[in-house]
Amino acid sequence: MHPARLWLGLLLPAAAALDFRYHHQEGMEAYLKSVAQNYSSFTQLHSIGKSVRGRNLWVLVVGRFPREHKVGIPEFKYVANMHGDETVGRELLLHLIDYLVTKHGRDPEITNLINSTRIHIMPSMNPDGFEAVKKPDCYYSNGRENFNQYDLNRNFPDAFEYNNVSRQPETLAIMKWLKTETFVLSANLHGGALVASYPFDNGAQATGALFSRSLTPDDDVFQHLAHTYASRNPNMTKGDQCKNKMNFPNGITNGYSWYPLQGGMQDYNYIWGQCFEITLELSCCKYPREEKLPYFWNDNKASLIEYIKQAHLGIKGQVFDQSGNRLPNVIVEVQDRKHICPFRTNIFGEYYLLLLPGSYTINVTAPGHDSQLTKVVIPERSQTFGALKKDFHLPFQVQLDSLQLVNPLCPMVPLYKTIPGHSPITKPSLFLFLVTLLHIFFK
């Protein structure tokens, strides 16, 4: 070999660029293992469970401390391909991984992001469904459901009505995962439309269902999150690029306004996981030909990165008692922004509240003690990748045993049914009727 050739070869990055084609389970596993091996100092690969057919549900974690949670570092996640026939998100997340690991240490923005955020990436929640689809098809196909024919985005406990379906292994794996990490922000990647859809997907009178919408107490934050994603995607932001006649102003919508559904994953994340999740519909065509993949990556790259940064919105910190013990299971909420299942500190006494800049009163309540109210001002965001940091030191001592005794979990029953004045709601019907009749489900 010519010496110049050899020298050039050494300069080229070791990683071969990921190609733009569909990766089946085997190819995806090989790629993820190779990433975890080549970038072991800031990535970790693990499986959170298995599909019905025994395929691993892989998650690649990227972060300064990929193997464990560190106080102050928010946990973020992306989950794709929960409908096996909606395939764009699956490949986009592999390309996102490629982008993050190859830019780390070279691009200051990405280096900062990885240094300050623990990013969990699950390219496929429904690998059996993906393998069941024979060939690219823009419309519904049998791979939407898991191997037992359950739609996984109808398979979670629901806060508005009983959802007594049989919980599937893929769903149970996600539910368990949400208990092991204190996720603060997430997105769930779908296809068949082009829109960023935010909670709730189901509703009651108390959340606005009489007005054909169902809003959370954090609606301003959710609109900001959906807008952050949609506004950076040139086709999504137009709101009317798919030929299914829907027009979404600015490319965002409340899930319930679009069409209500029961047992969805985003509502579950928010209510029982304390994790803000939105649903991203990334392609008019559910399973486009692979020649299109480079265009999708190009249209979504900036959105995917900017959305992760939103894990640093608002305020975070720890709660201690008079003796300096950090207190788990303490309720930390914003006044007038109460969650139906109150947000509580994790085992490190930490809380994270995603909030837009402004003035708020934080209400900290340890079991058996009076609430402590504190006014805070969250400034306009700086570029430091950090939420406002505020620890609370309670003026009394807490019996730590008493904190273990309270059961912090809200029961997984329709919590909104307990709100006074609640009555059953007739769901907005014409579109829902058409959706059911024509089998044109997206989310």
Ligand X SMILES: *[C@@H]1O[C@H](CO)[C@@H](O)[C@H](O)[C@H]1NC(C)=O
Using the minimum distance from each CB to ligand X, give the nearer residue, 37 or 149: 37
* Among ligand X, Zn ion, none, partner that 35 touches (CB below 5 to 8 angstroms by kind): ligand X
CB of 213 to ligand X, least distance (A): 25
Structure tokens at 208: 């606005």
Using the minimum distance from each CB to ligand X, give the nearer residue, 34 or 397: 34
- The strands making up 358-365's β-sheet, listed across from edge to edge, are 331-334, 358-365, 372-378
**Angle 88-103/293-309 helices, nearest 10 degrees?**
60
Residues in 186-205 that interact with Zn ion by CB under 5 A = 190
CB of 98 to ligand X, least distance (A): 7
Tokens 């029982």 -> residue: 272
**Residue 273 φ/ψ region, left for φ over 0, alpha for ψ in the -120 to 50 degree band, beta for the rest:** alpha
The residue from 281, 290, 306, 380 that is catalytic is 281
CB of 389 to Zn ion, least distance (A): 37
* Among Zn ion, ligand X, none, partner that 164 touches (CB below 5 to 8 angstroms by kind): ligand X
**How many other C-beta atoms are found inside a 10 Å radius of the C-beta of residue 381?**
17
- Binding residues for ligand X, rule: CB under 6 A, are 14-16, 31, 34-35, 38, 111-112, 115, 162, 164, 235, 295-296, 299, 331, 333, 335, 342, 363, 365, 371, 373
**Angle 293-309/108-116 helices, nearest 10 degrees?**
60
Using the minimum distance from each CB to ligand X, give the nearer residue, 115 or 223: 115
Using the minimum distance from each CB to ligand X, give the nearer residue, 295 or 433: 295
CB of 235 to ligand X, least distance (A): 4
**Closest residue to Zn ion using C-beta atoms:** 190
83 near Zn ion (CB under 5 A): yes
Per the annotation, the verdict on 68 as an active-site residue is: no
90 near Zn ion (CB under 5 A): no
> Using alpha carbons only, what angle is made at residue 198 by residues 21 and 211, rounded to the nearest 5 degrees?
140
* Among ligand X, Zn ion, none, partner that 112 touches (CB below 5 to 8 angstroms by kind): ligand X
* Among Zn ion, ligand X, none, partner that 337 touches (CB below 5 to 8 angstroms by kind): none
CB of 2 to Zn ion, least distance (A): 53
Using the minimum distance from each CB to Zn ion, give the nearer residue, 280 or 332: 280
> Using alpha carbons only, what angle is made at residue 44 by residues 443 and 266, rounded to the nearest 5 degrees?
20
Q: Which residues are part of the catalytic machinery?
A: 281
- List contacts with Zn ion (CB under 5 A): 83, 86, 190
